[in-house]
Amino acid sequence: MSVNNLIDESLSNSLQELLSENIDLKDISIQDITSKSNVSRATFYRHFKDKFDLVNWIFETFNKDIQEKYKIDNNFRQLSIDTSTMIYNNKNFFKKIFEYEGQNSFTDYYRKSAMEYTTDQYKTKLNIKKLDTKLIYLAEFNVAGLTQATKCWVINGCKETPEEISKILMDNLSEKEKEIFSTQK
């Protein structure tokens, strides 16, 4: 592992430890993170813009393997289960970051990431270069709902299993999205 990766991992672990100590994300400073990881502030800022950038990096790191797997087997329902499982296995971390509301919130990042992914999938599955207005609104509507439902599930303690929440989310997609993502499998 490269030095840069080791530093990223150290900062990531420090933030996750602070969140596990029941400290809210809004109350954690860069100083708290760098002190815990024995990394200078300057080094932190060479790697991340701010703590929210670090939160997003952690999510991307968790999610990277899942997205790579989906590119191979192309099963949207399984992608949903795997993503829900990843969130479930890290539910305390995700609860803390979903609870933060305001500028640079994880909820906004999650929605934007899901929107980017969804629009890319629409283009690929429908073999088009640009989405028409109707498809853009369909994507916005469904991504907003999926994001809010996922946030609600996490904040309420992930009471349903990853399989149960995935089924609930997939069953509530519009017929057009079920067709696009072939979730009937």
Identify the band that residue 169 occupies on the pLDDT scale cut at 50, 70 and 90: very high
pLDDT reported for residue 177: 86
98-144 confidence digits (pLDDT tens): 999 988 899 999 999 999 988 988 998 899 999 999 999 999 999 99
Domain assignments of the chain as residue spans, ordered by start: 3-47, 51-181
d(CA 157, CA 49): 30
User: What pLDDT does 76 receive?
Assistant: 79
Q: What is the pLDDT of residue 74?
A: 65
Residue showing tokens 């990277």: 64
Share of the chain above pLDDT 90, in %: 71
d(CA 34, CA 44): 7
Q: What is the mean pLDDT of residues 160-169?
A: 97
What is the rounded CA–CA span in Å between residue 172 and residue 181? 13
Query: What's the pLDDT score for residue 185?
Result: 42
Per-residue pLDDT for 184 more than 50? no
Say whether 51-181 and 3-47 share the same fold: no
Q: What is the pLDDT of residue 72?
A: 57
Q: Name the residue among 17, 13, 43, 18 with its Cα closest to residue 29.
A: 18
Under CATH, which number does the domain 51-181 receive?
1.10.357.10
The mean of the pLDDT values for the chain is 91
**Rounded Cα–Cα distance for residues 63 and 3 (Å):** 22
Q: Is the pLDDT of residue 57 over 80?
A: yes
Does the domain at 3-47 match CATH 1.10.10? Answer given as: yes
Element (H, E) at 17: helix 3-20
pLDDT at 129: 95
3-state secondary structure 30-91: HHHHHHHHCCCHHHHHHHCCCHHHHHHHHHHHHHHHHHHHHHHHCCHHHHHHHHHHHHHHCH
The pLDDT of 163-182, averaged and rounded, is 89
Distance CA 61, CA 90 (A): 12
Structure tokens at 136: 């853009």
Tokens linked to 130: 């640009």
